[in-house]
Structure 1
Amino acid sequence: MRWQVLARVRGAYRAAFAGLPREVWILAAASLVNRSGSMVLPFLTLYLTQRLGFSLAQAGGTLSLYGAGAVAGAAVGGWLADRVGAVRVQVLSLLGTGAGFLVLGAVRHRVGVWVAVAALSVVAEAFRPASFSAVAAASPPEVRTRALALLRLAANLGMSVGPAVGGMLAVRHYGLLFVVDAATCWMAAGVLVVASWRGRAPAAAETGPMKAPPPWRDGPFLQLLALVFLLATVFYQTLATLPLYLRAHFAFAEDRIGLVFSVNTMLIVLFEMVLLRRIEHREPFRVAALGSLLVCAGFALMPLLAAPLWAPATVVVWTVGEMLSLPVTNALAASRVGGPGRGRYLGAYLLAFSLAFVAGPAVGTAVYERYGPPALWLGVGGVGIGLAGGFLLMAARYGGRWTRLTSAP
């Protein structure tokens, strides 16, 4: 009986990863290496307030400045992916991001930090639409949701390492975070360059004139972006107010905070692909409705208890919601247009995340500081109800009719 159960589990995992093109695996490998060093942003709020003497409002504003630069980065990255090729954009972004982290770690003056953060965000966030575009172009429609989920899995597997190691390094010296983050950016660029030399690099995203409507004139797509913006605003509390709350409410040090974040990434690594395989034929907007509700519920539950194990328990709740919502919205955005123009659509999709990075930290830290953490988390719960309703309305309006626009080659 035990062996039958193990055989079924092994079969479920094998089916979850079956049929994905080799090019997708290469792109995922580069993302894994890059994200394994992601440790600056998760601890940036603490670094700015504890090491550089920023106020809470200034630290939140700095994160919002990163989001403002990311707005430009997402737009530029998507546009360049359609013009010069997605892989080339990724390599240039990774090289520039590594240099940017070293500069940010070296500056101490407030204005210098703001300039470094703004420049870094533009270069770093150009990577994401190019990466999404390359994966979408390399994967047939029937496996595209899982292909994009593999990219997420690789990023989250790296994130299970990055913040945990970053927390341990931060206890010793914050400067180490910037060096390690830069090194992994350059190593990820090396993965793509070496694959290119060996003739195994992923094909560039489709290039050419865009014949489909531009994303800002596509009404249903804009409705999706509005919901994604609200969902991402909640998610970005993990970089702004959540570390502060874990420290104040649960009395966690940086290394413990890193371990709490690792619960999220390890659950995604272990279960997301299998879960998506199980639900890949479900109506996507309804799945996103349930996922977004669970995301916000996980945050809203935090003030109920102060026991140390309660923090990772709430992380489990919002992680399940994340696994149900983000892979689905990723696939909806990638499938809205095919051929030349996909990069711009995905750039617009990731632009919603960048705008949320501007709004999320600023609004979150302002509410946290003025009205207190319980008010913030209660408000997040209300946002979850609104998001669930919005996705259900889209299911009623577009379910089964999310027609795939095409661009002429």
Structure 2
Amino acid sequence: MKTLLRNYFKTFDGLSREIWWLSLITLINRAGAMVIPFLSIYLNKSLNFTVGDVGWIMTAYGLGSFFGAWLGGKLSDIIGYYKVILFSLLLTGVNFMWVMHIETFWAMCGSFFILIAIADMGRPAFFVALSAYSKPENKTRSLTLLRLAINLGFSAGPAVGGFLIASAGYDALFYVDGITCILAGLLMTQVLNPKKVKELDTEVVVANPRRPLMDTPYMLFLVALALFGIIFIQYFSTVPLFYKDVYELSEDNIGLILALNGVLIVVFEMPLIAWMDKKKFTNIQNTILGLLMTGVSFLLLLWETWVGVVVIGMVIATFGEMISFPFSNKFALDRSKLGRQGAYMGIYSMSFSIAHIFGHNSGMQIIEAYGFKATWIFLMGLTLIAWFLLFLVRRMLEAEKTTEALSLTPKLDK
């Protein structure tokens, strides 16, 4: 046991102090984001919106995410990642405590658009900060530590959230979310103030930066990632409704199942990524593997006669997430060296925003029209499309390397 623990903690060696502070801020913030997994249930069961209405509210949520990610990427290049993150954390905290008082449909759509736009302004800024605070050789592990913090927060959040709903109601969730966002922002002013810390990334950025929209492999990669996002986010919107309606699980039990996702990531992701990082597989190959695992997990949900499949499905999807997201993040960060990092990471974050725009609503609408099983089959079809796009990206990257190698080969005299 001591050897296992020693090897586990050894995977964290060499990460900068700033990365640890950034991860702690993320942990505090995400631990409070416990309302998100219960949002669809809150809107449907507590405020009595139809499943179709919930889908449209989640689309407004996704549109806000899309706009916020774009704006955050732009502002990160203009005023710097520190100010963007701080602004995002403090105002998100205030908005969480305001949105809980909204009950009408259109006001709810507008409120969640504003809330998530402000919240997701910080997403590309966090990536730029991580890149700045991490040495090039440590970036995959730094990304994994940040994800560990996110999922440690999410593992505690749903469990605590389910308890709070059962004991104090949904209002308590919004207050806790708001307060933790503000606390994370205040901590940041003390430990990551630009006057007190230094950047560690010494990699050279190209003099004439490329626009991400002109980077064809990158854009295809983002389309595939958006499809992957549509697939994965079902575990935090339509799948909880599946748990509730098909297996009649209570909110606290649903919270425990969702918390399993975070617990597995905390225990296994860093050693798994540290091991895979030493292998010869590319970032794209690892992303493909994780995508397929997550997609396959929905096949298990077609079997509705044993409640144990929901746990097995969550485990398989979680390992798919553990493999795909760190390496897809790493690919985006590496590719961002071709241009302005804020713009590259902003559009990277926007791919997940697109998933929120279409994923929640499409899932809800298919469920309402055709049922859960049709939804899971639809998601498997999206998995195959995303796999094909990533396969094309892999071929294009191989062609790029070949072209670069040929351009560097000196021409022989005849």
TM-score by length of 1: 0.92
Match of 2:262 in 1: 265
Matched residue count: 399
Question: Could you tell me how far apart the structure 2 residues matched to 1:232 and 1:25 are?
Answer: 27
Match of 1:357 in 2: 356
The question of 1:371 aligning with 2:366 is answered no
Please give the per-residue CA displacement for 1:306-348, whole angstroms capped at 9, x wherever unaligned: 3232211110001111111111111100110228711110000
Measured after TM superposition, the shift of residue 174 of structure 1 is 0.7
Question: Could you tell me how far apart the structure 2 residues matched to 1:19 and 1:305 are?
Answer: 47
Find 2:135's aligned residue among 119, 137, 140.
140
Measured after TM superposition, the shift of residue 35 of structure 1 is 0.5
Helix, strand or coil: the match of 1:107? coil
Match of 2:274 in 1: 277
**5+ long unaligned stretches in structure 2:** 405-414
Question: Could you tell me how far apart the structure 1 residues matched to 2:351 and 2:339 are?
Answer: 21
Question: Could you tell me how far apart the structure 2 residues matched to 1:202 and 1:54 are?
Answer: 49
Find 1:234's aligned residue among 227, 231, 245.
231
Task: Note the aligned Cα RMSD (angstroms).
Answer: 2.3
One-letter amino acid matched to 1:74: A
C-alpha change, 1:153 and 1:200, in structure 2 (3 Å) is farther
The question of 1:182 aligning with 2:181 is answered no
Helix, strand or coil: the match of 2:297? helix
Match of 1:75 in 2: 70
Question: Could you tell me how far apart the structure 1 residues matched to 2:394 and 2:345 are?
Answer: 21
Match of 1:333 in 2: 332
Question: Could you tell me how far apart the structure 2 residues matched to 1:342 and 1:224 are?
Answer: 17
C-alpha change, 1:250 and 1:381, in structure 2 (3 Å) is same
**Does the CA-based 8 Å contact 2:212-2:339 persist in structure 1?**
no
Between the two proteins, what is the percent identity of the paired residues?
33
Measured after TM superposition, the shift of residue 392 of structure 1 is 3.0
Please give the per-residue CA displacement for 1:162-186, whole angstroms capped at 9, x wherever unaligned: 1111111122311001000001101
* Deviates most, 169-178 or 180-189: 169-178
Question: Could you tell me how far apart the structure 2 residues matched to 1:375 and 1:162 are?
Answer: 30
Match of 1:27 in 2: 22
Question: Could you tell me how far apart the structure 1 residues matched to 2:143 and 2:188 are?
Answer: 18
**Does the CA-based 8 Å contact 1:66-1:357 persist in structure 2?**
yes
Question: Could you tell me how far apart the structure 1 residues matched to 2:252 and 2:173 are?
Answer: 13
One-letter amino acid matched to 2:101: A
Please give the per-residue CA displacement for 1:50-109, whole angstroms capped at 9, x wherever unaligned: 221211111111011010011110011111111111121111100110111111101222
C-alpha change, 1:152 and 1:129, in structure 2 (3 Å) is same
Find 2:126's aligned residue among 114, 125, 131.
131
Helix, strand or coil: the match of 1:383? helix
Helix, strand or coil: the match of 2:302? helix
Find 2:111's aligned residue among 111, 116, 122.
116
Question: Could you tell me how far apart the structure 2 residues matched to 1:91 and 1:201 are?
Answer: 15
C-alpha change, 1:330 and 1:402, in structure 2 (3 Å) is farther
**Does the CA-based 8 Å contact 2:73-2:343 persist in structure 1?**
yes
Please give the per-residue CA displacement for 1:142-194, whole angstroms capped at 9, x wherever unaligned: 11111111111100000001111111112231100100000110111111111
**5+ long unaligned stretches in structure 1:** none
One-letter amino acid matched to 1:369: E
